């Protein structure tokens, strides 16, 4: 029997991208309603719905941009609502739905497997349910370890019960690359800028959450299979290079800045440089005051945020594999080669076209939103560009612009976070008309390039 909604649209015939968009939108609206209730705030006052909608979008899209301070404004219930939204948004609502289906021992239908394939950004349905089981196990295990390490460290600064709660909250937030914190006064992890335990734990959670669950599965199974997939090799190599280059560049740019690295000892300088290289990978936490960074560092961070994390992860951005594919295309063209080759494997042409499409759609979105906000908001251009890129990459880093946004600015940034979490290509598939395969091809033509 065909299922109809109140507008007469056949929900049963919706494409997977459209269902994903609708699902995330419903979760955000539900979260906004809950966050706007009096019990969600520490003062008992209602959060204006536009602010609740913005916060729910930021949590569900695991971004971390906030218009009110999470640690002081929200009650424990409000923070728990945020934590649930972060967990559901990070793993994906289809992953959570699969969890309930597995617990209830219900069969996963073909249509549900197609949705999971789209949600996890996989090219095949083969082994998708098995991957989801691993995702859930890995997530719980990593978050639990992170929570314990955080709690043990925070117990030196606060009562054990509060330390445990802080450990759980920040472990879930950082693993899902959300960037929400409850230390108050928008401080994030600046109190622990030179603390090895907090830095290592936080960076470990961020990197593991940003690698992607397919890569984590490959790493865990390496001892048995003694090999990694091409995807995992590319992701790990790109991630390592970006983190190393980011650390060096930030160290050099900020070394003499008295407001950032300049006031720290050598150990603090290294930890802070590493952390600020890791966090633009869509994490959003920070140990330095970003408003005090030099403009060169800010612009470099914008580039890192635009690249983002890896496919099938809790992070956003155009993804590391997209970036590497584009670099490979440039190298192949310069060397006069027809194929892009990584680790003795050539990439299919459709992968190259997809990388170009994602990059152009993403760049167009960031440029368009930046231009609009430059009109609606009376702020410096670099601050607007930084905030927009942070929203698109679901990063959550801020130069202090978000709390000062107008209502129209909040709506625009919320949409940018939504588009960044789902991916501009998925959003285009969901909102665009259904396409049919062409039955013919036009004759080839030539134009001059360059």
Q: Which token pair is 79?
A: 């923070």
Confidence of residue 1 (pLDDT cuts 50, 70, 90): very low
The pLDDT of 100-113, averaged and rounded, is 58
The pLDDT of 339-351, averaged and rounded, is 88
* pTM confidence score: 0.87
Helices (H), 310-377: 320-334, 349-376
Grouping H, G, I as helix, E, B as strand and the rest as coil, residue 41 is strand
Share of the chain above pLDDT 90, in %: 56
What's the CA gap between 147 and 33, in Å, rounded? 29
Query: Dmax of the chain from CA atoms?
Result: 73
What's the CA gap between 323 and 314, in Å, rounded? 17
Residue matched to tokens 């970006």 = 242
Grouping H, G, I as helix, E, B as strand and the rest as coil, residue 399 is coil
Instruction: Give the tens place of pLDDT for each residue, 273-322.
Output: 999 999 998 888 999 999 999 999 999 999 999 999 888 777 788 999 99
According to the model, what pLDDT value does residue 4 have?
Answer: 40
The span from the first CA to the last CA of the chain, in angstroms, equals: 55
Instruction: Give the tens place of pLDDT for each residue, 63-74.
Output: 889 999 999 999
Confidence of residue 443 (pLDDT cuts 50, 70, 90): confident
Residue 236 has pLDDT above 70, yes or no: yes
Q: Which phi and psi (to 5°) does residue 342 adopt?
A: -125, 125
Instruction: Give the tens place of pLDDT for each residue, 377-399.
Output: 989 999 999 999 999 999 989 99
The pLDDT of 348-370, averaged and rounded, is 92
According to the model, what pLDDT value does residue 7 have?
Answer: 46
* Residues 86, 175 contacting (CB under 8 angstroms): no
DSSP secondary structure letters along 416-433? HHHHHHH-HHHHHHHHSP
The pLDDT of 114-135, averaged and rounded, is 63
CA dihedral 171, 173, 179, 180 (to 10 degrees): -110
According to the model, what pLDDT value does residue 444 have?
Answer: 77
According to the model, what pLDDT value does residue 3 have?
Answer: 44
What's the CA gap between 192 and 189, in Å, rounded? 6
According to the model, what pLDDT value does residue 2 have?
Answer: 41
Write the DSSP symbol of residue 124: -
Instruction: Give the tens place of pLDDT for each residue, 149-162.
Output: 999 999 999 999 99
Confidence of residue 214 (pLDDT cuts 50, 70, 90): confident
Q: Which token pair is 328?
A: 């490979």
Instruction: Give the tens place of pLDDT for each residue, 247-259.
Output: 999 999 999 999 9
What's the CA gap between 313 and 327, in Å, rounded? 21
Grouping H, G, I as helix, E, B as strand and the rest as coil, residue 450 is coil
- Name residues whose C-beta falls within 8 Å of residue 107's C-beta, 6 or more positions apart in sequence: 101
Confidence of residue 375 (pLDDT cuts 50, 70, 90): very high
Q: Which token pair is 406?
A: 């107008």
What's the CA gap between 316 and 422, in Å, rounded? 8
Is 13 buried (19+), middle (13-18) or exposed (0-12) by CB count in 10 A? Answer: exposed
Residue 354 has pLDDT above 80, yes or no: yes
* Residues 276, 252 contacting (CB under 8 angstroms): no
Confidence of residue 414 (pLDDT cuts 50, 70, 90): very high
The pLDDT of 233-251, averaged and rounded, is 95
Residue 100 has pLDDT above 60, yes or no: no
Q: Which is nearest to 425 in space by CA: 13, 24, 21?
A: 21
Residue 119 has pLDDT above 70, yes or no: no
Residue 146 has pLDDT above 50, yes or no: yes
CA-atom Rg of the chain in angstroms: 22
Domain residue ranges in the chain: 14-111+126-429
């Amino acid at each position: 029997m065909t299922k109809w909604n109140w507008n007469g649209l056949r929900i049963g015939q919706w494409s997977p991208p459209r269902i994903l968009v609708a699902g995330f939108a419903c979760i955000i609206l539900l979260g906004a309603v809950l966050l706007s209730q009096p019990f969600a705030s520490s003062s008992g006052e209602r959060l204006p719905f536009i602010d609740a909608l913005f916060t729910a979008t930021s949590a569900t899209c695991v971004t971390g941009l906030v218009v009110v301070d999470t640690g002081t404004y929200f009650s424990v219930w409000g923070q728990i609502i945020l934590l649930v939204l972060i967990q559901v948004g990070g793993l994906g609502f289809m992953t959570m739905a699969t969890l309930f289906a597995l617990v209830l021992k219900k069969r996963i239908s073909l249509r549900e497997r197609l949705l999971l394939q789209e949600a996890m950004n996989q090219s095949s349905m083969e082994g998708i349910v098995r991957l989801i089981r691993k995702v859930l196990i890995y997530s719980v295990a990593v978050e639990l370890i992170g929570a314990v390490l955080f709690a043990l460290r925070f117990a030196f600064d606060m009562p054990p019960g509060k330390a445990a709660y802080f450990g759980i909250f920040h472990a879930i937030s950082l693993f899902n690359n959300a960037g929400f914190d409850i230390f108050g006064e928008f401080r994030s992890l600046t109190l622990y800028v030179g603390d090895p335990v907090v830095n290592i734990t936080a960076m470990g959670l961020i990197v593991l959450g940003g690698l992607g669950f397919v890569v984590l599965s490959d790493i865990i199974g390496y001892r048995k299979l003694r090999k990694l997939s091409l995807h995992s090799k590319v992701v790990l190599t790109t991630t390592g290079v970006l983190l190393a280059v980011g650390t060096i560049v930030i160290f050099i740019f900020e070394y003499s800045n008295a407001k950032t690295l300049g006031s720290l000892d050598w150990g603090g300088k290294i930890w802070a440089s590493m952390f600020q290289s890791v966090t633009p990978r869509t994490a959003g936490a920070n140990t330095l005051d970003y408003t005090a960074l030099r403009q060169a560092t800010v612009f470099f961070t914008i580039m890192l945020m635009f690249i983002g994390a890896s496919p099938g992860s809790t992070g956003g951005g155009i993804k590391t594999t997209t970036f590497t594919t584009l670099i490979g295309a440039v190298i192949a063209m310069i060397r006069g080669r027809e194929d892009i080759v990584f680790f003795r494997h050539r990439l299919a042409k459709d992968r190259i076209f997809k990388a170009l499409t994602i990059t152009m759609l993403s760049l167009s979105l960031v440029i368009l939103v930046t231009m609009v906000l430059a009109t609606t908001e009376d702020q410096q251009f670099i601050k607007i560009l930084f905030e927009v890129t942070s929203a698109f990459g679901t990063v959550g880093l801020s130069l202090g612009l978000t709390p000062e946004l107008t209502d129209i600015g909040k709506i625009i940034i919320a949409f940018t976070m939504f588009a960044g979490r789902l991916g501009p290509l998925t959003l285009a598939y969901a909102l665009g008309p259904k396409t049919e395969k062409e039955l013919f091809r036009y004759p080839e033509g030539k134009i001059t390039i360059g």
